[in-house]
């Protein structure tokens, strides 16, 4: 029986445009014509924008080759399926850190242990390989860890309880060869955390209070171990001295390298992407830096313009003649709550006078900033500049600014004077090379793998608010804003990612660690969820559920389809993408017998029969072709279940191939081509 005429491609395409993506995939299994239409680029472009609700002005990912594959990447490659829960910690889990190879990760917790985990077991199960308790060092808990560049050492930062119960911190360096403790470094306040500068040197902080709301933060470079031949060789070296005003302090230090700023994994500026694609097609070298659409959130000058300029100039001249103030002895480190308690005893007039004097001292005894230190290198220079990033403030004790300071090549080791280069009496403090004001309480920072972009978690202040009392910061929003800063141009991208929430007030606000992979960015939140966004499209892709606050998330640097999340519910959850979960569950192919073994136990007669059987299969008899013993028949049946989609009436009956065993297409990877059947060949589709 002859088949009826096929529907025009344009009509099939118009019908597919009204179906969800899973129904389109299912309908593509019907026949060869529908298969071709279901892979149409225009169709998947429309499905992509409608499903993910992305503005059509946003271009496709620069590394994508088709809209179908881009849809599949966002649908199937997000680490959103929980595959394992680690319960070895007995208290809140605060931080997670992967090694650079991705073969191990560390975890910190309020149970005061640092644990190491293995991620390379053949069965894919993550297992505990080492655990160390820091209680015998008089620590309260571990809060942060970081692997050095060659994954041979582990930096562990924690809260140290001294003899007077002062809240200060300490850093321990552990060898990963034999898990021995190599060194311990004082670190205060403890939320400086500390970080690696290179394979063998780390950066710590110290704090010296000058008044009620004025202090000096000092950055120290420390050698990770003391394998020295002489006691005259330095193991520490002072890097910078930063003046803090209005009860603010330096916190959350990290190091960024600029070696890949001109060749990042992903350009977030769409115009720069278009320019890069055009230059790549033309195979022409870059003609200059990107012309971005960024806007600057802060200037390089962090000083305030106070009133009474004439009186201040006279006071500055007097201070220059006298030199720096002498009483700069270290005082016990205080947490934010302790600062509040101490400053409540001082009157507002006294605090205002101290702030005025601190501003004058800062202008008189701070090095003049050098704008050339922070200027981006010209394309092709290839200079690897190193920057120290940290949170700070100028208006209140809440961290609301990001300070940037360049580390020069001669500061990369502890050689030379312990106190650094010589300073004149008018260069007591180091100036910041650049300051970016976030206009909110900063609660987390993370670098992209190429160190081009800095992602900042913050809770915004009300628009237009004025801070008159440094001890009374503005109320903060419940929504957490995720800002993106281009470190090459020192400007913020025109995007703010927002889905996660926090509820604690200023005085109790704690750190929410985030992490960035090549294509995604993830963060914890106080609403008992972790969140994943796409870096290019700026859309939230997944929520990761916990039973309590999610403090930290971490992508594997070796595979961004593996994500970890740590929570106050004392667990670490392991998340993998649906694609990886499906591959892990798919049984491996059957192992065929080796040809040598197969032929060894066969007689020549068996071999002759096998050869004859293969010839018959290769050349079937004409009478055996087709369905039903050679008779063609039309197969009328309802189209198989399209995930409960509404099917147009014109498609309820069609000439299609027989139903598959599992008719429901639940995943993009279930889609596969079907070999032409006799019915299809007869109809010419």
Same domain, 157 and 259: yes
On the question of pLDDT at 129 being above 50, the answer is yes
Average pLDDT over residues 180-184: 95
- Residue 19 in any domain: the answer is yes
Q: Which two tokens stand for residue 215?
A: 């202090």
Closest CA to 19 of 650, 538, 577: 650
Same domain, 292 and 174: yes
Average pLDDT over residues 300-305: 36
On the question of pLDDT at 147 being above 60, the answer is yes
Residue 666 to residue 25: CA distance in whole angstroms: 9
Most confident of 152-161, 294-303, 306-315, 589-598: 152-161
- Residue 38 in any domain: the answer is yes
pLDDT at residue number 306? 39
Q: Which tens digits make up the pLDDT trace of 70-126?
A: 999 999 999 999 999 999 999 999 999 999 999 999 999 999 999 999 999 988 899
Lowest mean pLDDT among 128-132, 148-152, 208-212, 600-604: 600-604
- Residue 136 in any domain: the answer is yes
Same domain, 270 and 192: yes
pLDDT at residue number 226? 74
pLDDT at residue number 274? 62
Determine phi and psi for 45, rounding to 5 degrees. Answer: -65, -45
Same domain, 257 and 151: yes
Q: Which tens digits make up the pLDDT trace of 321-338?
A: 444 333 322 333 344 545
pLDDT at residue number 670? 42
- Residue 493 in any domain: the answer is no
pLDDT at residue number 166? 67
pTM of the model: 0.76
Strands (E) across 487-580 are located at: 491-501, 514-516, 520-523, 529-534, 540-545, 550-556, 559-567, 572-576
Same domain, 30 and 129: no
Q: Which tens digits make up the pLDDT trace of 259-279?
A: 877 778 777 776 666 666 565
Same domain, 140 and 199: yes
Average pLDDT over residues 400-405: 96
Range of 35's domain? 1-77+637-685
- Residue 657 in any domain: the answer is yes
Same domain, 103 and 64: no
pLDDT at residue number 542? 96
Q: Which two tokens stand for residue 37?
A: 């239409």
- Residue 219 in any domain: the answer is yes
Lowest mean pLDDT among 187-191, 403-407, 424-428: 424-428
Sheet with 491-501, side-by-side order of all strands? 440-447, 453-460, 479-486, 491-501
pLDDT at residue number 288? 41
Q: What DSSP letter does each residue of 247-258 carry, written as one string?
A: T---EEEEEEE-
Out of 413, 432, 451, a domain closes at 451
Same domain, 275 and 371: yes
Q: Which two tokens stand for residue 496?
A: 């703010």
pLDDT at residue number 7? 86
Same domain, 56 and 188: no
Lowest mean pLDDT among 371-380, 422-431, 548-557, 594-603: 594-603
> For residue 527, what pLDDT band results from cuts at 50, 70 and 90?
very high
Average pLDDT over residues 534-552: 96
- Residue 72 in any domain: the answer is yes
538 or 635: whose pLDDT is higher? 538
**Contact in structure between 201 and 222 (CB atoms under 8 Å):** yes
**296 vs 434, 474, 487, 596, CA distance in Å?**
11, 22, 11, 71
Out of 428, 451, 474, a domain closes at 451
Residue 571 to residue 565: CA distance in whole angstroms: 8
pLDDT at residue number 272? 66
Q: Which two tokens stand for residue 304?
A: 């305030």
Angle between helices 41-52 and 9-16 (to 10 degrees): 10
pLDDT at residue number 348? 74
Q: Which tens digits make up the pLDDT trace of 36-78?
A: 999 999 999 999 999 999 999 999 999 999 999 999 999 999 9
Same domain, 428 and 394: yes
On the question of pLDDT at 283 being above 80, the answer is no
Q: H-helix or E-strand containing 275?
A: helix 270-282
Residue 173 to residue 205: CA distance in whole angstroms: 15
What is the three-class DSSP state of 8? coil
Determine phi and psi for 304, rounding to 5 degrees. Answer: -95, 150
- Residue 561 in any domain: the answer is no
Q: Which tens digits make up the pLDDT trace of 467-517?
A: 988 989 999 998 999 999 999 989 988 778 887 788 887 777 789 999 999
Beta strands 93-98 and 386-392, pairing class: unpaired
**CA triple 90-92-97, angle to 5 deg:** 100
The mean predicted confidence, pLDDT, of the chain is: 78
Same domain, 140 and 262: yes
Q: Report the number of distinct structural domains present in the chain.
A: 2
Residue 275 to residue 219: CA distance in whole angstroms: 40
Number of neighbours of residue 556 by Cβ within 10 angstroms: 21
- Long-range contacts for 268-271 (Cβ within 8 Å, ≥24 apart)? 268/453, 268/484, 268/486, 268/493, 268/495, 268/535, 268/536, 269/293, 269/294, 269/486, 269/493, 270/58, 270/59
Average pLDDT over residues 372-401: 82
Length of the chain: 685
Out of 427, 451, 475, a domain closes at 451
Strands (E) across 290-433 are located at: 386-392, 401-407
User: In sequence order, what are the beta bridge partners of 654?
Assistant: 637
Same domain, 125 and 186: yes
């Amino acid at each position: 029986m002859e088949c009826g005429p096929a529907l025009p491609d344009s009509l099939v395409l118009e019908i597919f445009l009204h179906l969800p993506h899973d129904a389109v995939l299912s309908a593509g299994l019907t026949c060869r014509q529908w298969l071709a239409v279901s892979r149409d680029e225009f169709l998947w472009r429309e499905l992509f924008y409608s499903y993910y609700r992305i503005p059509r002005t946003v271009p496709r990912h620069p590394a994508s080759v088709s809209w179908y594959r881009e849809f599949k990447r966002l649908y199937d490659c997000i680490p959103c399926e929980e595959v394992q829960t680690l319960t070895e910690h007995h208290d809140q889990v605060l931080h997670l850190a992967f090694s650079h190879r991705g073969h191990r990760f560390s975890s910190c917790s309020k149970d005061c242990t640092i644990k190491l985990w293995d991620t390379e077991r053949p069965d894919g199960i993550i297992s505990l390989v080492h655990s160390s308790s820091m209680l015998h060092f008089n620590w309260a808990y571990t809060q942060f860890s970081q692997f050095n560049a060659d994954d041979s050492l582990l930096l562990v930062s924690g809260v140290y309880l001294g003899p007077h119960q002062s809240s200060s911190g300490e850093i321990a360096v552990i060898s990963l060869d034999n898990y021995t403790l190599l060194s311990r470094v004082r670190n205060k306040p403890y939320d400086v955390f500390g970080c690696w500068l290179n394979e063998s040197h780390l950066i710590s902080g110290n704090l010296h209070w000058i008044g009620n709301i004025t202090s000096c933060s000092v950055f120290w470079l420390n050698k990770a171990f003391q394998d020295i031949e002489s006691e005259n060789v330095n193991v520490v070296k002072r890097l910078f001295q930063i003046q803090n005003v209005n009860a603010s302090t330096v916190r959350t230090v990290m190091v960024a390298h600029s070696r890949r700023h001109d060749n990042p994994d992903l350009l977030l500026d769409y115009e720069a992407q278009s320019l890069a694609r055009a230059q790549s097609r033309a195979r022409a070298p870059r003609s200059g830096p990107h012309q971005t659409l960024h806007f600057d959130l802060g200037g390089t000058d962090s000083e305030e313009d106070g009133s009474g300029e004439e009186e201040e100039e006279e006071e500055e001249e007097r201070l220059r003649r006298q030199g720096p103030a002498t009483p700069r002895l270290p005082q016990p480190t205080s947490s934010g709550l302790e600062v509040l308690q101490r400053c409540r005893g001082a009157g507002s007039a006294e605090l205002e006078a101290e702030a005025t004097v601190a501003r004058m001292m800062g202008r008189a005894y701070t090095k003049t900033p050098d704008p050339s230190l922070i200027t981006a290198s010209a394309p092709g220079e290839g200079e690897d500049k190193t920057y120290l990033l940290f949170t700070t403030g100028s208006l209140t004790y809440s961290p609301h600014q990001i300070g940037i300071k360049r580390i020069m090549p001669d500061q990369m080791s502890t050689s030379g004077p312990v106190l650094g280069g010589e300073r004149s009496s008018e260069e007591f403090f180091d100036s910041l090379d650049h300051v970016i004001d976030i206009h909110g309480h900063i609660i987390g920072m993370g670098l992209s793998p190429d160190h081009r972009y800095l992602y900042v978690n913050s809770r915004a202040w009300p628009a237009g608010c004025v801070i008159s009392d440094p001890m009374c910061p503005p109320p903060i929003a419940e929504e957490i804003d995720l800002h993106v800063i281009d470190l090459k141009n020192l400007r913020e991208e025109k995007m703010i990612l927002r889905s996660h929430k926090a509820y604690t007030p200023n005085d109790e606000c704690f750190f929410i660690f985030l992490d960035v992979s090549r294509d995604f960015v993830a963060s914890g939140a106080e609403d008992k969820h972790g969140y994943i966004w796409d870096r290019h499209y700026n859309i939230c892709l997944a929520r990761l559920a916990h039973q309590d606050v999610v403090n930290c998330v971490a992508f594997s640097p070796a595979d961004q389809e593996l994500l970890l999340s740590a929570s106050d519910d004392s667990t670490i959850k392991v998340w993998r993408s649906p694609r990886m979960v499906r591959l892990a569950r798919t049984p491996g192919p059957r192992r065929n017998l080796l040809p040598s073994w197969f032929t060894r136990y066969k007689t020549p007669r068996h071999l002759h029969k096998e050869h004859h059987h293969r010839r018959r299969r290769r050349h079937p008899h004409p009478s055996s072709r087709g369905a039903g013993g050679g008779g063609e028949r039309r197969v009328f049946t309802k189209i198989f279940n399209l995930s409960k989609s509404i099917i147009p009436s014109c498609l309820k009956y069609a000439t299609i191939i027989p139903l598959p065993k599992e008719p429901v297409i639940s995943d993009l990877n279930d889609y596969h081509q079907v070999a032409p059947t006799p019915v299809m060949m007869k109809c010419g589709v």
